[in-house]
Structure 1
Amino acid sequence: MTDLKMAQSDQKQQMHHINHTDLEDFVRQILIANGTSSQNATIVSKCLVSADLRGVDTHGSNRIPSYMERIRQKCLDPSATPSLRQITPVVAQVDGHNGWGFVAAHKAMSRAIEMAQEFGMGMVSVKHSNHFGMSAWLVKQALDAGMMSLVFTNSSPALPAWGGKEKLMGVSPIACGAPSGNDSRSFILDMAPSVAARGKIYKALRRGEKIPVDWALDGEGKSTDDPAKALQGVMLPMGGPKGSALSIMMDVFSGVFSGAAFAGHVTNPYDPSKPADVGHFLVAIKPDLFMTMDEFKGRMDYLYKRVTESEKADGVEQIYFPGEIEQIMEERRLEEGIPLAEAEVAGLNKEADLVQVEHLKIQPA
């Protein structure tokens, strides 16, 4: 695992700020140099940098070294073209053919949106796919088309079933969204069923940081603040059996239902030994099925105000709508740049050296 071999320390590393367009172009060039078509490289790079902009650093451009290693080990086919099979007028399935999960999921959501525009809703299952990064970009794809959405995926083992001690279920994110009116921010929910996303453990390891002791257990089943030991153990589900049940739900809809791997057989994206066979489940829904769009958006505005203007608990300065903090972060990083740790910049530039791409441009401090 390439990025796990980086030198670690107990002190935080120096941070560099990168312009988002420079980072997107850099990632795109690396992808093309590693066998991805120009069109697909644009999709993948936009999705990764979108995560960086929203502050979801665990699913952004720092994933490039692990993805490229999977390509070099022939566990991910960067040139694969996903195929689509129409099942009913409102149901389709995409076969990712072990290509980019971003590309397969983008194709699936595009088709779901087309069906929803004609029939009110569209559902697409995806099999033989790979990690598609942050789920919120798919929610945003639907929002840009004026659609509500559900976005499910399964993932490699990280959580035990409630009462167990072995890695079995993934920390598979639950995501959904709905468009807002003129006076509120869109509803974007994207969360893992674990106390913290596993990507945050990898991020802490890269940056030489400790983790909270309630995130994971080490290989002996003990609490730990060491990310390396945490990766040898298991993540902890949020809400005990509730988080465990949600991770199983993701496996039912994304794995069992689609024909992809399930029940602990999805390969870790940092493991370059074999294909991942990830499954996804995507639904797009027209918001104006039961009322006009103006009525729907007005009701969303009212919900937003009721939530964010509700009475605050002691010590709370502001109440946020789901996804609002990430949207505020995106606005900030569009201006200030995307912060990457020194080890992350070094890892990306190492990939650039391998394919003779120019190093990242770093913004002046």
Structure 2
Amino acid sequence: MSDVSLDRQVSIPEVRQLGIELLTKVGTPTEYAVIITDSLIEAQSVGHASHGVIRLLEYSNSVAKGSVKANVEPVVKSATESAVVIDGGWGWGQIACRLAMTEVTQRAKKTGIAVATIQNCNHIGRLGEYVERLAAEGLVSMMWCNGDPAVAAYGGRERLFGTNPFAAGIPTSTEPIVIDFATAASAEGKLRVARANGQQIPPNTVIDADGKPSTEPNDFYNGGALLPFGGHKGYCLTLMIELLGGGLSQIHPNVSPKYTYGWGTVLIAMDPTKLVPMDLFLEDVDHATNVIRATSPSDPTQPVLVPGDVENKNRAKSKTELTISNAVWESLQELANS
């Protein structure tokens, strides 16, 4: 077995400088470049390389193709006391999401609940980032989006749905509960990382162009499809996000003739204090999560966790350096020097 590592450690300041350089190089305002780079660094630091700095390659290419308008500022298109429509203007998705967070926070704290949709929206990064920020504001939140077709229907083999991630954030008296997962068997970005590293992927993740199961990530990129997670149950959740993400944002569901591109994003925030005193809410949540963590594990070496625990442990280990694939880092260096 080879002892050659697939990864390297890179200091966060070095990664940050490179990210900002690459984004400003394609016309992104420095303020936006900092936000986007920090978002990718955050994803990398908590262990989600699929939504980390590898995305700088895609993002630079998206500007070159005209899919992303790098200097566009998102705006509020319409609003009521509890609902707001954001027009992303085909600029950076992370910037549009920051505006959506600001708007729902203000409205939820006033009315108890608020919803935002984002139209004309590009890739928004890791959803867990946004619901975690809202939980830090004392808000319960849910978020989802549809996106480019990548996933087959249960029992089918054609790409009909996006990977359609879902996220929820729940405040506690310490670290928030952060639920964040693709409703496909894998995030597409994880296939991208496996392909870059020359690795296989787990069974029951993708099918090839003929509908046959495969563990080769290239089979997805050569006309195959991702599968929904959890069989028909995961398929139902994928479908819900496709219809509500696409329909409410007017990005449209993938199967619609009106769909061309984009991430149909929905963000809902709730203020628990409009329903119950915050101390009582936190007492229940804290007690429940403490009991769950204290549950006797089936494997003594693997304690029971709640969503967000893994990310918090990874974040604590990545305060100064990030673990980045050699292949990805070399590609970023080549892009910077091109």
Distance 2:274 2:93 in 1: 30
2:295 corresponds to which residue? 310
Contact 1:91 1:122 in 2 (8 A): yes
Of the candidates 15, 22, 31, which is equivalent to residue 23 of structure 2? Answer: 31
Equivalent position SS for 1:295:
helix
1:221 corresponds to which residue? 211
2:325 corresponds to which residue? 341
2:178 corresponds to which residue? 188
Shift of 1:144: 2.7
Distance 2:113 2:257 in 1: 29
Task: Provide Cα deviations, 1:205-237, integer angstroms capped at 9, x if missing partner.
Answer: 001111112211111212222111133311121
Equivalent position SS for 1:238:
coil
Distance 2:103 2:237 in 1: 26
Task: Provide Cα deviations, 1:248-274, integer angstroms capped at 9, x if missing partner.
Answer: 11112211111113224699xxxxxx9
1:140 and 2:124 matched? no
Distance 2:28 2:199 in 1: 33
Q: Identify the range of structure 1 (52-61 vs 219-228) with the bigger mean alpha-carbon deviation.
A: 219-228
In the comparison of the two structures, how many residue pairs are matched?
Answer: 336
Shift of 1:20: 2.2
User: What letter corresponds to residue 88 of structure 1 in structure 2?
Assistant: T
User: What letter corresponds to residue 329 of structure 2 in structure 1?
Assistant: V
Contact 2:165 2:183 in 1 (8 A): yes
Shift of 1:317: 2.7
Cα distance change, pair 65–11 in 1 and its aligned pair in 2 (3 A): farther
Distance 1:317 1:68 in 2: 40
Normalization by structure 2: what TM-score? 0.94
User: What letter corresponds to residue 131 of structure 2 in structure 1?
Assistant: V
User: What letter corresponds to residue 309 of structure 1 in structure 2?
Assistant: A
Of the candidates 249, 257, 277, which is equivalent to residue 292 of structure 1? Answer: 277
Shift of 1:175: 0.2
Contact 2:153 2:228 in 1 (8 A): no
1:59 corresponds to which residue? 51
Normalization by structure 1: what TM-score? 0.87
Distance 2:268 2:12 in 1: 29
2:190 corresponds to which residue? 200
Task: Provide Cα deviations, 1:32-51, integer angstroms capped at 9, x if missing partner.
Answer: 12111122112211111110
Equivalent position SS for 2:264:
strand
Q: Identify the range of structure 1 (143-152 vs 127-136) with the bigger mean alpha-carbon deviation.
A: 143-152
Of the candidates 326, 329, 351, which is equivalent to residue 314 of structure 2? Answer: 329
Shift of 1:163: 2.5
Of the candidates 96, 100, 103, which is equivalent to residue 111 of structure 1? Answer: 103
Distance 1:177 1:81 in 2: 27
Of the candidates 99, 102, 118, which is equivalent to residue 94 of structure 2? Answer: 102
Equivalent position SS for 2:267:
strand
Seq. identity, %: 24
2:202 corresponds to which residue? 212
Of the candidates 164, 170, 175, which is equivalent to residue 162 of structure 2? Answer: 170
Contact 2:162 2:254 in 1 (8 A): no
1:353 corresponds to which residue? 337
Equivalent position SS for 1:24:
helix
Contact 2:116 2:268 in 1 (8 A): yes
Equivalent position SS for 2:103:
helix
Of the candidates 179, 203, 224, which is equivalent to residue 233 of structure 1? Answer: 224
Cα distance change, pair 295–21 in 1 and its aligned pair in 2 (3 A): farther
Shift of 1:277: 2.6
Cα distance change, pair 266–145 in 1 and its aligned pair in 2 (3 A): farther
Shift of 1:172: 0.9
1:157 and 2:149 matched? yes
Shift of 1:90: 0.6
2:233 corresponds to which residue? 242
